[in-house]
């Protein structure tokens, strides 16, 4: 994968990260005022307290502590690849951050680690895709550990893991599992010390069964908190920020308990046999005993009484009023109130619980209360009938029965507080079959059948397969062309100001200009944008720029702005989602928008929002959750922040991009029901709530069709059903293919036919600065791409350009 390294190679990496204390070293290290503090708060709010025996945490003010684990210095602040590769102006590791508090960090031990880490440095520049998932641990003798314990009662052990793009987490020691050295360390420390607190620094869920094997007093799942990682952990350890993060994915007792295990990591394809039973939907329905820490779980230093005051149906919405009281005598805290719905099993079978709404309290002092109002529409929890079992094929339905409403602070402990009766089956939305499994690739999927004791049991049934003719669907949707007029002197700013309409502008464009709008400026680090960018699009040729179409610069995302210059490194997506704080995520991304404007990014390739189907997926750190509602809400919060200043966000990767191995060729075979209820649902929520201006397809195939050619996903569902009218771009570089329904439509023409508007960065060869001619060749062919389709794509791209402050006059 040197091609990716080539893109990154444009970035001057001679300037190494400043570890430890804040070091703003040059003018390009400017970040918006408040960015550091907001990152710090968000990283701290996302830390999940998993255990806390006898209130071991928070640590009291100036307590002496001994910090073990080399990750105290070599902290994993983010995962690897495009989603983490930013150059922060500073980065706080854990030991320096703890030393900056009033806590008394055992100096001889810290010194010992410093020396050892210097003598055993981690590779500063591993090759793309070969990054370390963990670092070798410093060995200590039991006598040495006991000597530290003799002077210091409390130990903090920090363990670290990372994975990334093109780098799955692995089922190995040093990957998902602890190494023998880490086990030795935990055993030595937990035996010798009065109190042992463990901090787990990771972007993926990893094995945590060991938390029950050692005598540990508290365990914090810190995630990867970006440049403020160390200070955020210190804040939670000391209680400066009370622990309050909640899990966004289930932690199982063992990897093989996950429903995707055995159906993940396939080289050519994976069958999503678990269907809609992803994460807690599986565990709460069929396998409660396999859960170590449930979805939504996280302790606080306070204790809360959560009561439903009122549950009512209000104009199509269910409204739950919950009163939350901090009953703790000493500690303040926040609580996340979660509403779940148990739908009737019906003929389709349903997961036992669906997250329907959530809300977070402000920080409540001991004795203080807050009433929260949580709203949701029952319709949004409708099941999708992809096989016609209810008599309503290709429809979202609410089957008859009682929809029980449950309130709590995690999926497992939520208790019934009311319910809604649906008398007769309701068809909520009739749509058309789209993106279903190919008949040649049918498989059996999990369905729930009611067992003799009335509880749902796992059964398997054939997945419904595709029946519609794509060719007919494409032909029925071909748009008419507008007659080409040549340059009529209409500027894009005239369209923005309402002096001309978009069609008049488009009519001026010749085929070369239309083609230029449908691809980027060919390479990463385009000369049209700030150094280190991911590529530029829209005004890629002088004649377009002369008509007022700006070249728009794209940059990764999501953990910051990936440019040659220094930029803020945000907490990873999972950390942000673990805050369950939608407003905070918007606030953080609003600051990011200010940084984009200052540093020259028009489109941030963020949020990453694939569902965390399996804990080993390398990019889970970028993603939010195993649950589509939480994913959609967090993505929408991100988009609202980024787009607050007129710039664009780019949710990705559409869709079912759930593994990294062979991601450019691998086929995600998944039922239409699971697509719509799980894998597309987050995108649907994001589009409805935040109107992203762009969206990125995925590398992988979805039921046999690459994301960048997927007419059903992009034209039928995203645009047709959801009303998305922005620009859709490919993930970086595409695979060649002939449209199976139209032999004269290949590669870029096949893509444009699907309304995947922009090929990024634009060339077919990594080093090339030209296209392959497939688009204009098809335009000229009988039964090829039509000019109407090419103009439609131009309109999609221009609608993005039209919102740019450089066109509207906002910049
Ligand atoms: C990644 C995208 C990223 C793009 C540009 C691709 O390899 O999958 O998430 O935005 O590169 O760097």
Catalytic residue among 386, 525, 667, 731: 731
What's the gap in Å between 559 CA and the centre of ligand 1? 13
Relative to the CA of 557, which ligand 1 atom is closest? 10
Tell me the per-residue pLDDT of 113-145, one tens digit each, with 9 for 90 and over.
999 999 999 998 899 999 999 999 999 999 999
Of 78, 128, 165, the one to substitute when testing ligand 1's pocket (max ligand atoms within 8 A of C-beta) is 165
pLDDT on residue 203: 98
Assess whether pLDDT exceeds 90 at residue 7. Answer: no
25 vs 118: CA distance, rounded Å? 22
Q: State mean pLDDT over 472-500.
A: 97
What's the gap in Å between 28 CA and the centre of ligand 1? 24
pLDDT on residue 124: 86
Relative to the CA of 698, which ligand 1 atom is closest? 8
Q: State mean pLDDT over 457-479.
A: 97
| Exposure class string for 368-390: b at 16+ Cβ within 10 A, else e | eebebebebebebbbbbbbbebb
Could you write out the DSSP letters of every residue in 769-783? SS--SHHHHHHHSTT
∠ CA 651-657-663, rounded to 5°: 125
- Cβ of 605 closer than 6 Å to ligand 1, yes or no, is yes
What's the gap in Å between 801 CA and the centre of ligand 1? 21
Judge whether 308 and 417 are in contact, CB under 8 Å: yes
pLDDT on residue 195: 98
70 vs 68: CA distance, rounded Å? 7
| Ligand 1, atom 7: closest residue by C-alpha | 732
What's the gap in Å between 557 CA and the centre of ligand 1? 9
Relative to the CA of 554, which ligand 1 atom is closest? 5
Using 50, 70 and 90 to split pLDDT, how confident is the model at 9?
very low
Is residue 741 part of the annotated active site? The answer reads no
Could you write out the DSSP letters of every residue in 264-311? SS-SSEEE-TTTT--THHHHHHH-GGGEEE-TT--B-SS-EEEEEEEE
DSSP state of 608: B
CB atoms within 10 A of CB 345: 18
| Ligand 1, atom 11: closest residue by C-alpha | 732
pLDDT on residue 332: 98
Could you write out the DSSP letters of every residue in 16-38? ---BSS----SGGG---TTHHHH
Q: How many angstroms from the chain centroid is the CA of residue 422?
A: 34
CB atoms within 10 A of CB 150: 10
176 vs 186: CA distance, rounded Å? 16
Judge whether 43 and 201 are in contact, CB under 8 Å: no
Relative to the CA of 652, which ligand 1 atom is closest? 9
| Exposure class string for 261-272: b at 16+ Cβ within 10 A, else e | bebbbbeebbbb
Q: State mean pLDDT over 402-420.
A: 97
Assess whether pLDDT exceeds 80 at residue 6. Answer: no
What's the gap in Å between 4 CA and the centre of ligand 1? 9
- Cβ of 731 closer than 6 Å to ligand 1, yes or no, is yes
754 vs 518: CA distance, rounded Å? 12
- Specify which residues 167 forms β-bridges with: 164
What's the gap in Å between 350 CA and the centre of ligand 1? 35
pLDDT on residue 8: 30
Q: Which helix (H) or strand (E) holds 515?
A: helix 511-517
- Specify which residues 398 forms β-bridges with: 426
Judge whether 674 and 464 are in contact, CB under 8 Å: no
- Specify which residues 310 forms β-bridges with: 321
Q: How many angstroms from the chain centroid is the CA of residue 1?
A: 23
407 vs 391: CA distance, rounded Å? 33
- Cβ of 630 closer than 6 Å to ligand 1, yes or no, is no
Report the candidate in 449, 450, 445, 460 with the shortest Cα–Cα distance to residue 672. Answer: 445
φ, ψ dihedrals at 179, nearest 5°: -85, 165
pLDDT on residue 119: 98
Of 80, 83, 731, the one to substitute when testing ligand 1's pocket (max ligand atoms within 8 A of C-beta) is 731
Judge whether 44 and 36 are in contact, CB under 8 Å: no
Of 79, 537, 553, 605, the one to substitute when testing ligand 1's pocket (max ligand atoms within 8 A of C-beta) is 605
pLDDT on residue 26: 54
- Cβ of 534 closer than 6 Å to ligand 1, yes or no, is yes
| Ligand 1, atom 3: closest residue by C-alpha | 82
Judge whether 22 and 96 are in contact, CB under 8 Å: no
- Cβ of 649 closer than 6 Å to ligand 1, yes or no, is no
DSSP state of 516: H
Assess whether pLDDT exceeds 50 at residue 681. Answer: yes
Using 50, 70 and 90 to split pLDDT, how confident is the model at 454?
confident
Of 8, 82, 649, 695, the one to substitute when testing ligand 1's pocket (max ligand atoms within 8 A of C-beta) is 82
Question: Where exactly does CATH 3.40.50.1700 map onto the chain?
Answer: 13-247
557 vs 652: CA distance, rounded Å? 10
Report the candidate in 405, 404, 399 with the shortest Cα–Cα distance to residue 422. Answer: 399
Q: State mean pLDDT over 636-643.
A: 98
17 vs 90: CA distance, rounded Å? 7
- Cβ of 652 closer than 6 Å to ligand 1, yes or no, is yes
Q: What's the Cα-to-Cα distance from 134 to each of 75, 122, 358, 623, rounded to whole Å?
A: 10, 10, 34, 20
What's the gap in Å between 731 CA and the centre of ligand 1? 6
Using 50, 70 and 90 to split pLDDT, how confident is the model at 791?
very high
Assess whether pLDDT exceeds 70 at residue 374. Answer: yes
Residue with tokens 């209810």: 390
- Specify which residues 371 forms β-bridges with: 323
- Please give the mean pLDDT across all residues of the chain: 95
Which listed CATH number (3.40.50.1700, 3.40.470.10, 3.40.50.10680, 1.10.3720.10) goes with 13-247?
A: 3.40.50.1700
410 vs 335: CA distance, rounded Å? 11
pLDDT on residue 810: 72
pLDDT on residue 61: 86
What's the gap in Å between 433 CA and the centre of ligand 1? 30
What's the gap in Å between 90 CA and the centre of ligand 1? 24
- Cβ of 523 closer than 6 Å to ligand 1, yes or no, is no
The tokens for 808 are 């509207």
Burial (0-12, 13-18, 19+ Cβ within 10 Å), 615: buried
Could you write out the DSSP letters of every residue in 685-729? HHHHHH--SEEEB-SSEETTEEGGG-HIIIIIIIIIIT---SEEE
φ, ψ dihedrals at 37, nearest 5°: -65, -40
| Ligand 1, atom 6: closest residue by C-alpha | 732
| Ligand 1, atom 12: closest residue by C-alpha | 82
Percent of all residues in the chain with a pLDDT value above 70, rounded to a whole number:
96
Relative to the CA of 653, which ligand 1 atom is closest? 9
DSSP state of 139: P
- Cβ of 161 closer than 6 Å to ligand 1, yes or no, is no
Report the candidate in 103, 178, 175, 180 with the shortest Cα–Cα distance to residue 139. Answer: 180
- Cβ of 556 closer than 6 Å to ligand 1, yes or no, is yes
What's the gap in Å between 656 CA and the centre of ligand 1? 15
- Cβ of 732 closer than 6 Å to ligand 1, yes or no, is yes
| Ligand 1, atom 2: closest residue by C-alpha | 731
Percent of all residues in the chain with a pLDDT value above 90, rounded to a whole number:
94
Crossing angle of helices 628-642 and 681-690, rounded to 10°: 30
Q: State mean pLDDT over 81-85.
A: 95
- Cβ of 82 closer than 6 Å to ligand 1, yes or no, is yes
Q: Output the 3-class SS for 166-193.
A: CECCCCCECCCECCHHHHHHHHHHHHHC
């Amino acid at each position: 994968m040197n091609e990716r390294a080539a893109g990154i190679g444009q970035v001057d990496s001679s300037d190494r990260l400043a570890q430890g204390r804040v070091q703003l070293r040059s003018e390009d290290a400017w970040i918006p005022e408040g960015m550091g503090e907001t990152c710090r708060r968000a990283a701290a709010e996302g830390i999940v307290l998993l255990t806390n025996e006898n209130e071991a945490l928070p640590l009291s003010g100036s307590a002496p502590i001994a910090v073990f684990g080399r990750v105290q210095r070599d902290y994993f602040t983010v995962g690897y690849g495009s989603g983490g590769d930013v150059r922060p102006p500073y980065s706080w590791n854990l030991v320096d951050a703890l030393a900056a508090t009033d806590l008394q960090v055992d100096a001889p031990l810290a010194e010992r680690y410093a020396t050892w880490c210097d003598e055993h440095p981690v590779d500063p520049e591993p090759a793309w895709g070969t990054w370390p998932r963990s670092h070798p641990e410093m060995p200590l003798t039991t006598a040495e550990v006991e000597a530290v314990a003799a002077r210091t009662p409390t130990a903090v052990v920090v363990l670290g893991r990372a994975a990334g793009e093109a780098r799955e987490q692995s089922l190995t020691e040093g990957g998902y599992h602890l190494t023998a050295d880490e086990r030795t360390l935990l055993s030595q420390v937990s035996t010798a010390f009065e109190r042992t607190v463990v901090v787990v620094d990771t972007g993926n869920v990893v094995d945590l069964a060991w938390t029950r094997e050692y005598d540990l007093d508290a365990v914090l799942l810190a995630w990867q908190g970006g440049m403020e990682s160390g200070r955020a952990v210190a804040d939670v350890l000391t209680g400066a920020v009370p622990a309050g993060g909640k899990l966004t994915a289930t932690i199982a007792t063992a990897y093989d308990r996950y429903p995707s295990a055995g159906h993940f990591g396939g080289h050519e394809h994976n069958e999503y046999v678990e269907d809609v039973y992803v994460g807690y939907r599986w565990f709460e329905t069929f396998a409660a005993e396999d859960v170590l820490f449930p979805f939504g779980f996280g302790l606080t230093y306070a204790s809360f009484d959560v009561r439903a005051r009122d549950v009512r149906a209000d104009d199509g919405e269910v409204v739950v009023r919950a009163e939350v009281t901090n009953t703790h005598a000493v500690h303040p805290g926040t609580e996340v109130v979660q509403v779940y719905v148990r739908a009737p099993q019906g003929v389709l079978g349903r997961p036992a619980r669906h997250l329907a709404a959530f809300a977070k309290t402000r920080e409540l002092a001991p004795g203080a209360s807050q009433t929260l109002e949580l709203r949701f529409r029952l319709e949004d929890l409708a099941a999708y009938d992809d096989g016609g079992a209810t008599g309503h094929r290709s429809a979202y339905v609410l089957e008859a029965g009682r929809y029980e409403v449950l309130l709590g602070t995690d999926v497992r402990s939520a208790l019934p507080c009311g319910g809604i009766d649906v008398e007769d089956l309701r068809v909520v939305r009739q749509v058309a079959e789209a993106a279903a499994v190919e008949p040649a690739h049918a498989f059996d999927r999990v369905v729930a059948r009611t067992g003799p004791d009335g509880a749902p049991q796992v059964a398997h049934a054939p997945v419904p397969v595709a029946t519609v003719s794509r060719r007919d669907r494409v032909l029925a949707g071909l748009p008419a062309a507008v007659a080409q007029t040549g340059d009529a002197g209409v500027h894009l700013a005239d369209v923005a100001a309402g002096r001309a309409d978009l069609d008049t502008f488009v009519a001026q464009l010749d085929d070369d200009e239309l083609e230029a709008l449908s691809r980027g400026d060919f390479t990463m680090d385009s000369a049209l944008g700030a150094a280190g960018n991911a590529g530029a699009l829209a005004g890629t040729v002088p004649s377009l720029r002369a008509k007022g179409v700006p070249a728009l610069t794209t940059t990764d995302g999501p953990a910051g702005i990936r440019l040659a210059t220094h930029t803020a490194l945000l907490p990873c997506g999972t950390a942000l989602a673990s805050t369950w704080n939608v407003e905070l995520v918007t606030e953080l991304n609003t600051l990011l928008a200010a940084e984009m404007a200052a540093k020259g990014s028009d489109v941030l390739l963020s949020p990453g929002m694939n569902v965390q189907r399996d804990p080993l997926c390398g990019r889970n750190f970028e993603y939010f959750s195993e649950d589509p509602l939480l994913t959609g809400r967090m993505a929408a919060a991100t988009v609202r922040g980024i787009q607050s200043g007129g710039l664009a966000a780019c949710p990705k990767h559409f869709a079912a991009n759930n593994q990294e191995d062979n991601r450019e060729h691998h086929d995600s075979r998944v039922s239409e029901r699971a697509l719509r209820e799980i894998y597309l649902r987050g995108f649907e929520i994001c589009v409805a709530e935040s109107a992203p201006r762009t969206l990125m397809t995925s590398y992988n195939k979805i039921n046999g069709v690459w994301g960048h050619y997927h007419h059903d996903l992009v034209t039928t569902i995203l645009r047709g059903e959801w009303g998305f009218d922005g620009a859709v771009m490919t993930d970086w570089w595409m695979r060649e293919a002939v449209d199976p329904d139209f032999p004269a439509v290949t590669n870029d023409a096949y893509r444009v036919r699907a309304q995947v508007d922009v090929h990024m960065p634009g060339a077919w060869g990594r080093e090339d600065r030209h296209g392959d001619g497939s688009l204009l060749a098809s335009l000229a062919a009988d039964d090829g791409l039509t000019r109407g389709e090419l103009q439609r794509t131009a309109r999609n791209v221009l609608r993005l350009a039209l919102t740019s402050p450089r066109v509207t006059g906002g910049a």
